[in-house]
Amino acid sequence: MPRSLPLAAAALTLVGVPAGLALTGGNVQGVMTATLAFWLAMLMLLVGRWPLSVLITSVLFVVAMRTSGLVGSGWAWPATAAFAALALAGRLRAAVAVGSLTLGYGLVWEGVVEQKSSDWVLGHIGGEALWLAAVLAATVAYRNTRRWQQEVAARLQQSLHEQELDALRRRAEERVGIARDLHDVVSHTLAVVGVHLNVALDSFDDEPEEARGALRLAQDVRGRAMTDLKSLVDVLREGDRIEPPAAGLEGLTGLAEQVRAAGVEVAVTERGARAEVPAPVGTAVYRVVQESLTNTVRHAAATRVSVTLRYAATSVEVEIADDGAGEPKGAPGHGIMGMRERVAALGGELVTGPGPRGGYTVRATIPIVA
């Protein structure tokens, strides 16, 4: 349960209970109404640790105030925040059981003890039952949506991890192949050069022209071997910078579909000509979008995110903006640092922070080198 939820629930209870009693005609005494709202709000500060105990205590407090005539309406709805918190904690059956018992007690009290008309009793108790059912349904839907979003984010992260493992496997295979090629080049070169040196040595005194020809051939073989060896050494030097495979710009559509499946609305807008974007830049853009969408699904609690790409003759700009909770607390994670290093390696710049209308924005500008 988020740490900010108890504070938000306490604030809503402190305001909502007096407002609800005023609207339903249950504000018998202002002092008692304020007392009820205050203590229900204080109980909500403990709901993160003891959600069921807080709900039961809240309901008993409301019932006591109601049966004492200190407030004139409400059996279950003043404890709405406690019901929602218990359902959000995954204990829907307990919330339904407590609500049913509370409303059943209210039904008996209003109909038998107070002897109010059946129409009045069914109207008020039925209204509370519908309100409680709607609150619990909305809470369960929200909880299921957040769980699904977290699962999709985990799958995205797992997919990235699998790509990196595949890259490591391919790197090992490539190095084995390079070692084999290196062995073949060196063995072949030494063998051919040795043959020509033997020919030159045997004919050095009697046939100097043949000896010079053999030495020239040995020199040519040596030159080709040096070229091959240089190529192999260059590949080995670049080995630590082998990238895991990425779909590039053409993979953005599939990436957006995965995030839409998590319940987050994604809009992808492209301006300019994509065809002029080099492959390394396209790969970097894909990685920035992938990491940003993953963070949005996992941490931002956002409902909408827009991905805007602007292609120009000298640069590519990508902006990912969501309507979520804003800038994450604490130091930047490895994801943001990784994006910044990837963009900087291509001579670009990455800027992150709260958006002008709330939410969180990631903007990367990467130059295109002619």
**What CATH number has the domain bearing residue 259?**
3.30.565.10
Within a domain: 102: yes
Q: What is the CATH number of the domain that holds 178?
A: 1.20.5
pLDDT in tens, 120-168: 888 888 999 999 999 999 999 988 888 888 888 888 888 888 888 887 7
Let me know whether 18 and 112 are in one domain.
yes
Model pTM? 0.53
Q: pLDDT (tens digit, 9 = 90+) per residue, 318-330? A: 999 988 876 665 4
> What percentage of the chain's residues is helix, strand, coil (to nearest 5)?
70, 10, 20
Which domain, by its residues, includes 219?
157-241
Total domain count, the chain: 3
Tokens of 357: 């209308």
Residues 17 and 60 in one domain: yes
Integer Cα distance of 60 and 267 in angstroms? 48
What pLDDT sits at residue 188?
Answer: 47
More confident residue, 248 or 253: 253
Q: Are residues 224 and 281 in the same domain?
A: no
DSSP-assigned beta bridge partners for residue 366: 316
Tell me, yes or no, whether 254 and 237 share the same domain. Answer: no
Q: What is the pLDDT of residue 159?
A: 82
Please give the DSSP secondary-structure letter assigned to residue 58.
H
Structural domain ending residue among the three candidates 205, 222, 241? 241
Identify any residues that bridge with 265 across adjacent strands, giving them in sequence order: 304
Question: Tens digits of per-residue pLDDT, 249-292?
Answer: 888 888 788 778 667 889 999 998 887 788 888 888 988 888 88
CA–CA distance, 201 with 273 (Å, rounded to integer): 65
SS3 347: coil
> Which pair of structure tokens corresponds to residue 9?
């629930």
Would you say residue 122 lies in a domain?
A: no
Percentage of the residues of the chain whose pLDDT score is greater than 90: 27
Whether residue 98 is found in the same domain as residue 176: no
- 97 and 9 in one domain? yes
Q: Is 135 inside any structural domain?
A: no
Q: What token pair was written down for 20?
A: 């609800």
Determine the Cα–Cα distance for residues 356 and 73; give it in Å rounded to an integer: 44
Q: Residue 161 — φ and ψ, nearest 5°?
A: -65, -40
Is 291 inside any structural domain?
yes
Tell me phi and psi for residue 310, to 5 degrees: -120, 115
Q: What is the DSSP letter of 356?
A: B
Adjacent-strand bridge partners of 363: 319, 351
**321 plus 233 within the same structural domain:** no
Residue 171 within any structural domain of the chain: yes
The DSSP bridge pattern shows strands 315-322 and 349-354 to be unpaired
Residue 127 lies in a domain: no
Domain-ending residue, one of 83, 101, 116: 116
Give the domain-ending residue among 116, 146, 165: 116
> Quick one: 97 and 78 in the same domain?
yes
Q: Residue 180: count other Cβ atoms within 10 Å of its Cβ.
A: 10
Tally the C-alpha atoms within 13 A of residue 355's C-alpha that lie toward its C-beta: 19
Q: Are residues 107 and 52 in the same domain?
A: yes
Q: Residue 322 burial by CB count (10 A; 0-12/13-18/19+): exposed, middle or buried? A: buried
Tell me whether residue 140 is in a domain: no
Same domain? 196 vs 261: no
Nearest to 169 by CA among 242, 248, 251: 242
1-25 in b/e burial notation, b at 16+ Cβ within 10 A? eeeebbeebbeebbebbbebbeebe
Q: Is residue 52 part of a domain?
A: yes
Q: Assign residue 301 a region: left if phi > 0, alpha if psi is -120 to 50, beta otherwise?
A: left
Q: Are residues 262 and 360 in the same domain?
A: yes
The verdict on 264 and 230 lying in the same domain is no
pLDDT confidence bin for 59, thresholds 50/70/90: very high
Give helix 118-203 / helix 208-237 axis angle, nearest 10°: 170
Planar angle of CA 47, 51, 54, nearest 5 degrees: 75
Judged by average pLDDT, the poorest of 60-74, 190-204, 223-237 is 223-237
What are the start-end ranges of the H helices in 25-117?
Answer: 30-44, 51-67, 80-88, 92-108
